Amino acid sequence: MPSPLKWPAKRESLAEANYRDTGRTKWCTCGAIMFWFITPGGKYIPLSVTKDNCFEPHHASCKDVKNYRVANRMHEERARPAKSRTVQGKLW
């Protein structure tokens, strides 16, 4: 079992802790770029790069946390399978 991850973390530490890079990036309203990773538990997490090229959770340095949380919720909604997003369920 991997050891607990300590933030900020290098890319190698993320890989050792079973974090997977999705290859997706997005600009936040605070002006920083977010790198989307998948945690060992299967959840999406946006990370920011620090000055020393380490990664940290974006909310730790975001100047616009309210909008970050809205964007994160929208991203997680899109990531869920379409089947679990339906409100009505099966009609037939």
Which residue did the predictor score with more confidence, 29 or 84?
29
**Residue 67 clears pLDDT 80, i.e. is over it:** no
Q: Looking at the domain assignment, is residue 54 inside a domain? A: yes
**pLDDT at residue number 88:** 56
Report how far residue 77's alpha carbon sits from residue 12's, in angstroms, rounded to the nearest whole number.
Answer: 29
Range of the domain at 31: 11-83
Q: What integer pLDDT is reported at residue 91 of this predicted model?
A: 56
What are the beta bridge partners of residue 34? 26
Q: What is the number of domains present in the chain?
A: 1
User: Per the domain annotation, does 64 fall within a domain?
Assistant: yes
